[in-house]
Chains A and B, each alone.
Chain A
Amino acid sequence: DAKTTQPNSMESNEEEPVHLPCNHSTISGTDYIHWYRQLPSQGPEYVIHGLTSNVNNRMASLAIAEDRKSSTLILHRATLRDAAVYYCIPNNAGNMLTFGGGTRLMVKP
């Protein structure tokens, strides 16, 4: 499995954009890059995934580097509800996910 490196924690102000980075330099060419988040006292929640092109959905945007060795999850306007641990996961096995330590995002009002 590809190893990932994410900052342990990040802080943001409410209603400002947040860029959460992830390094996955050993990713294989067919691994999709998935992002999940886990709010306090809840199970992880899917956020977004992509392979090569940048992706957008109602929750976030995913920017993938051209060499695919890194990606950035973008929350366009952080809210207090976005405070969570964010996990970047190169997926090569479907419903068998390998979680790293993730980034704890704190949002200040």
Chain B
Amino acid sequence: KAGVTQTPRYLIKTRGQQVTLSCSPISGHRSVSWYQQTPGQGLQFLFEYFSETQRNKGNFPGRFSGRQFSNSRSEMNVSTLELGDSALYLCASSLIPGATNTEAFFGQGTRLTVV
């Protein structure tokens, strides 16, 4: 079956703009999480969605937001982009939220560059 699909793969934006990234989870998976990966901070959890509701949120400013649709697809939005938002944004899907004995499946990520 198809894996986690993230679009677009690459994006270049200007400071002050906003951006929307998309994630389609594995069919049947209802939990979608987002992560930011930078060379300085490593992989950091942004937020998790389940049944169209944000279930958990990491320590990021309000400029970072997300949503989930009824088909479990998710989007994340970053407003008023800053240079420091340049990063690889990763999406992970899982069958059940909060289940610690099941694996998460990651997409290949969206590489965002802010200039």
Contact = CB atoms under 8 A, between A and B. Distances in A.
Interface of A: 30-32, 34, 41-46, 49, 51, 87, 91-102
B78 interface: no
B33 interface: yes
Interface of B is mostly: strand
Contact of B104 (A42, A46, A51, A101): A46
Most buried by B among A42, A51, A93, A100: A93
Contacts of B31: 94-95
A46 B105 CA distance: 7
Contacts of B79: none
Contacts of A43: 4, 90, 92, 106-109
Contact of A95 (B42, B43, B94, B107): B94
B68 to A, nearest CB: 12
Nearest to A44: B106
B104 A95 contact: yes
A99 to B, nearest CB: 4
Given A34-B103, A49-B103, A94 B42 contact: no
Contacts of B101: 32, 49, 51, 91
